[in-house]
């Protein structure tokens, strides 16, 4: 029997008169408010004071290829990757962006503009991050074209493969699928938004041509809109910087300064000399483990749903074998039913599997909501009775 906490109305409901039964649980977006309690506990350690005369210029460091990158943020990024051991930063250009969304678009633009022929095909292995479709189709560029699922891609000519690992939406560890190692026209963008020790074992120090990271999914500070790319090739980095200049004339300095401060504190908490109770990655892993265990119990009791299983792997950061606890749950159903519609019937919003290149029997569920919202979701899922559909 699943023992669920008695669900209470979430504190962030704007209209307090809405009964709990009418409250819509929105787990479609990966809004990472789950970490609010940790940062509240940290008090003023991350406080930044910005005077009216500070940060007024467009320019940060004119000696840097990415001249709008604040030096303190560059140092904080290098220090954190060094402490965690998840990515190489030596002999690379760091390009800062307004979240990894802008950086992905900048990288696709850069690689396409340097290709011999256009449009360049862009692919990702299903199930893939649904926003990749929007990023590559919205402006209707003639330089590149979304070609869909990488598993069936066999088109000749230049292509870009987007590899997300751990994968969004299903949490699996991914490598390239198309695999044309001797093809000079084959390019890969690695999205490591979730390659951090609270989500997955850090099995190796990643070393690829273009690696994307985002502040929002590490610490939960999505509102700051900061991401960064680690780029080997100078010409690719220059093209990415050019894209960002045209798109937004740089990146908010206020956001960069705040990010630098928080990353510095994060790095301090995750070193061996720090107070273990303050270790953010340990806190995050315990929270994610607790949520996944609760969700798996509900799924086991219902016998109507499915979840992926993740193998244990040795984590270099924690120094032991660990399981993955992804930021999203790839929830499936054993019934022939449209799962996203069924969940909406119970006032639960999730990302439809079809948007991720999959089917109606799967949905992506954010595991990063506030605790009270997550508990309401578990309670509704436990009480769901699925209706079979004949239109799959």
pLDDT tens for 35-91 read: 999 999 999 999 999 999 999 999 999 999 999 999 999 999 999 999 999 999 999
Low-confidence ranges of the chain (pLDDT < 70): 1-17, 272-274, 387-392
- DSSP assignment letter at 313: E
> What distance, in Å, lies between the first and last C-alpha atoms of the chain?
32
CA-closest candidate to residue 177, choices 133, 126, 212, 137: 126
pLDDT tens for 238-294 read: 999 999 999 999 999 999 999 999 999 999 998 866 677 799 999 999 999 999 999
C-beta separation of 333 from 306 below 8 A: yes
Which value, to the nearest 10 degrees, does the dihedral of the CA atoms of residues 366, 371, 373, 377 take?
70
What confidence score (pLDDT) does residue 390 get? 43
**Calpha distance 241→231 (Å, rounded):** 11
Cα 311 versus chain centre, distance: 20
Residue 264's H or E segment, with its range, is helix 253-269
The DSSP secondary structure of 355-387, one letter per residue, reads GGTS-TTEEEEES-S-HHHHHHHHHHHHT----
- Crossing angle for the helix pair 280-302 and 371-382, to the nearest 10 degrees: 10
pTM of the model: 0.94
C-beta separation of 168 from 327 below 8 A: yes
What confidence score (pLDDT) does residue 148 get? 97
**Calpha distance 134→127 (Å, rounded):** 15
Q: What are phi and psi of 380, to 5 degrees?
A: -70, -40
């Amino acid at each position: 029997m699943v023992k669920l906490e008695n669900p209470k109305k979430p504190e962030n409901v704007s209209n307090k008169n809405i009964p709990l039964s009418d409250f819509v649980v929105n787990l479609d977006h990966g809004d990472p408010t789950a970490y609010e309690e940790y940062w509240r506990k940290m008090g003023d350690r991350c406080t930044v004071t910005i005077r009216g005369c500070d940060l007024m210029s467009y320019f940060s460091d004119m000696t840097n290829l990415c001249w709008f990158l604040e030096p303190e943020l560059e140092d904080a990024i290098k220090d954190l990757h060094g402490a965690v051991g998840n990515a190489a930063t030596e002999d690379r250009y760091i390009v800062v962006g307004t979240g990894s969304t802008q950086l992905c678009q900048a990288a696709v633009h850069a690689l396409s503009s340097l290709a011999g022929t256009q449009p360049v095909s862009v692919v990702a292995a299903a199930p893939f991050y649904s926003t990749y479709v929007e990023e590559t189709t919205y402006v209707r560029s003639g330089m590149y074209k979304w070609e869909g699922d990488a598993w069936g891609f066999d088109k000749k000519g230049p292509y870009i493969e987007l590899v997300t690992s751990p994968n969004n939406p299903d949490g699996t560890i991914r490598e390239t699928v198309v695999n044309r190692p001797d093809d000079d026209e084959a390019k890969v963008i690695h999205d490591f938004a979730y390659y951090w020790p609270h989500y997955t074992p850090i099995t190796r120090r990643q070393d690829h041509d273009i690696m994307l990271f985002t502040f929002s999914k590490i610490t939960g500070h999505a509102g700051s809109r900061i991401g960064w790319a680690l780029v080997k090739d100078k010409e690719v980095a220059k093209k990415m910087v050019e894209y960002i200049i045209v798109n937004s004339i740089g990146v908010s300095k206020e956001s960069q300064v705040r990010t630098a401060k928080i990353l510095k504190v994060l790095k301090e908490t995750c070193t061996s000399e720090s107070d273990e109770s303050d270790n953010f990655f340990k806190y995050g892993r315990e929270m994610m483990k607790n949520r996944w265990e609760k969700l798996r119990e509900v799924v086991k009791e219902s016998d109507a749903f499915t979840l992926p299983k993740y193998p244990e792997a040795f984590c270099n950061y924690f120094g032991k074998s660990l399981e993955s606890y992804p930021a999203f749950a790839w929830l499936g159903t054993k019934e022939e039913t449209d799962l996203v519609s069924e969940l909406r019937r119970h006032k639960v919003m999730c990302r439809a599997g079809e948007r991720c290149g999959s089917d109606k029997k799967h949905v992506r569920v954010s595991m990063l909501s506030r605790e009270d919202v997550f508990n309401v979701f578990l309670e509704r899922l436990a009480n769901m009775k699925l209706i079979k559909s004949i239109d799959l």
